[in-house]
A and B are shown apart, each in its own frame.
Chain A
Amino acid sequence: MNDNQNAIEIVDLWKRFGKTSAVGDLSMRVEPGRVVGFLGPNGAGKTTTIKMLVGLLRADTGSVSVLGLDPFVDGLAVRQRTGYVPEKHALPRWMRVSDAISFCRTFYPTWDDKLCDDLVRLFALDLGKKVRVLSKGTQVKLSLLLALAHRPELLVLDEPMAGLDPLVREELVDGILQTVGNHPRTILFSSHTFADVQRLADEVAIIHEGRLLTQCSVEQLLTRTKRLRAVLADGATPDAAPEGTIWQRRNRREWLMTVREFSQDTLERVRNQNRLENIEVIDLSLEDIFKDFIRGQRSTPCT
């Protein structure tokens, strides 16, 4: 991969299952070394996109490039340089933890035994136990160990922490942070747990119905996306929502709107263009912003 090449580049990607379009005209890119939270409601096309990234599904149209390679054509090379933890952890149930580690290390020239040992200790894995007796959380830990121990250039995580208790989730996030901290690498991970996203991600990409709604840094999203709560003057109707409004709702005289790229100018424009009794600016959490993006369903490219 060249220094200026994106770790992931998706252009006009489409994938249909029968008449249903799982991914529709999706374009996004991830720069090397970035940690990207891949967000979307259930059925948004996250897993389908991820499967196309790791070469488990073929795109109908459009192109996917991972580390400069086509994951479907150069599947072996991409998989050797990529770590993947799927939503469903399908480790062979008859294997012991030590078997799974020995088996996987054969296929990765970059396998790091020391890192593997460190992760075994960090996740408190019992090497002698069979996969079938491991709890769900421990299976996820083992999957993550197998994905991390070969020092992949790209780590793809598909809701790995779904359904896990907060303690296990914290251990997993610690494991990722520890590995990423020592050796910066690109991570794309989908999750519905916004606390984890906020802790791990540099940027977020939000998709809905198979297309990208926005992709920008977490910090930018949190500092520049605000909700305005206005109370309209008696008998007044809202004239115009400000530019960058991603969602709005009016309930009698109360007018709520969530605005991207918020500034004092935005506030002044709303004040000047509408007859308001008062207006207040409300800070939003990442979860609120995500919900408003999905509710609004408007594409607002990140500037």
Chain B
Amino acid sequence: MHLKTLLWKDFRHQTGFLVGAIVVLLIPYVIALGAYIANYFSDQRVAEGLRFYEGASIADVMLASLLVAFFAGNAIAGERSDGSAEFFSYLPISKRASALSKLIVSLGLVVIILTFCIAVPFMFWTSGSASADRPNASEARVFLATCAAMFGVAWCASSFVRSATYAAATGLCVPIALGVTLALISDAGFPSAGELYWVLASVLGVAGVIAGTTYYIQRVEP
């Protein structure tokens, strides 16, 4: 019963970000629609209509991977920045239940958004109408590991700071920094370093969630 109430509260807390995410994810399709209309009425058609939507769907996958950090970053720090963390801290709510609820909601929203965003280009690839190459297993692994790292680092930062923006920014920057560092090491003559990325990013994601959750449970709010 408590968990259900907490899930409702945490979902409502993320509603603003969810609406923002939907708007952001619609932008590529709006641009694609504009391009499609312009293309349709032009004298020289440069591409088939579906190509525009395929491009929009791939852009959405990239955007969705960035949005992951915002949902995780807002989960804990968002309540501190709006002051409501103190209100919840003096209610008889178990910190474990609170952490579980925040994790379920933010992770759930991330999974739903990623699933929708990946489903569209996947349809293009399975229908055979896609112009872009279908990603191989290695690319998919890197993509998912990056999402995991962004989520874990942003969640961990969210547990420590008062600003959802800082937490999300940390979640975005750390995996990018990791990727750039490994690429430089790889270029410097250690080609196997690049292949380590997905392993390190996955570990970073899981460690971030564990560290952030442990700290949140022990911390006295606000």
Contact = CB atoms under 8 A, between A and B. Distances in A.
Interface of A: 54-58, 76-77, 79-80, 84, 86, 88, 90-95, 103-104, 106-108
Contact of A92 (B1, B2, B84, B92): B84
Given A86-B86, A108-B92, 6 more contacts: A55-B90, A90-B83, A92-B84, A94-B15, A103-B8, A107-B5
Contacts of A90: 83-87
Contacts of A58: 220
B126 to A, nearest CB: 40
Given A76-B94, A106-B2, A56 B89 contact: yes
B45 to A, nearest CB: 48
Contacts, number: 56
Interface in B1-50: 1-2, 5, 8-9, 12-13, 15-16
Interface residues of B, number: 24
**Chain B interface secondary structure, helix, strand, loop or mixed?**
helix
**Chain A interface secondary structure, helix, strand, loop or mixed?**
loop
A86 B13 CA distance: 22
Interface in B62-91: 79, 82-87, 89-91
Contact of A76 (B84, B86, B87, B92): B92
B210 interface: no
Contacts of A76: 92-94
A93 B92 contact: no
Contact of B92 (A57, A94, A107): A107
A94 B86 contact: no
B187 interface: no
Given A56-B221, A79-B91, A90-B87, A106 B82 contact: no
Contacts of B79: 92
Contacts of A93: 82, 84
B5 A103 contact: yes
A93 B85 CA distance: 12
Nearest to A108: B92
A112 B87 CA distance: 20
A108 B221 CA distance: 20
Residue among B83, B87, B91, B94 with max Cβ neighbours from chain A (10 Å): B87
B87 A56 contact: no
A84 B90 contact: yes
Contacts of A88: 83, 86
